[in-house]
Amino acid sequence: MDFASPFKSLTAYIGAHATVARTEHERDRASQRIFGCLAVMLVILVDQFSGGSTDSLGRILLALTSAYLAITVAYRFFLKAGRGEGIVAFYAFLVLDPLMLILVLYCNRAISPS
């Protein structure tokens, strides 16, 4: 069984990769992701250093956000260099963006004192 075939049929059905000026839009979205990650990391670091939270959930969220930031910076670099035209990364971020948002909101609820 070829795994590329179901992915190709799904992407052909959705068609989000066929938009006009996709590269420019993706560069803009990558910049927004970078600023979002930096904001989340700043809040977590301030919380960690102010003594408000010492649990491992905040450190896990910081590590995951740092990894997501590194992937996003690399993706933006490849887009700017003209080498990021693949649709796999496009659809991966299409799925990962809401998952990261849900993770941040869930962990923030778990970290924040009631």
Model confidence pLDDT, tens digit, residues 9-53: 655 545 555 566 777 888 888 899 999 999 999 988 888 788 766
Query: Tokens 């939270």, residue?
Result: 53
Report the Cα 64 to chain-centroid distance in Å.
10
- The whole-number pLDDT of residue 5 equals 67
Regarding pTM above 0.95, the answer is no
Least confident of 9-13, 66-70, 80-84: 9-13
Closest alpha carbon to 30 in 93, 99, 103: 93
Compute the mean pLDDT over every residue in the chain, rounded to the nearest whole number: 78
Helix (H, G, I), strand (E, B) or coil at 86: coil
Domain extents in the chain: 23-111
Written as six digits, the tokens of 34 are 């970078």
Identify which of 44, 40, 68 has the alpha carbon closest to the alpha carbon of residue 58.
Answer: 44
* Lookup: tokens for 48: 């960690």
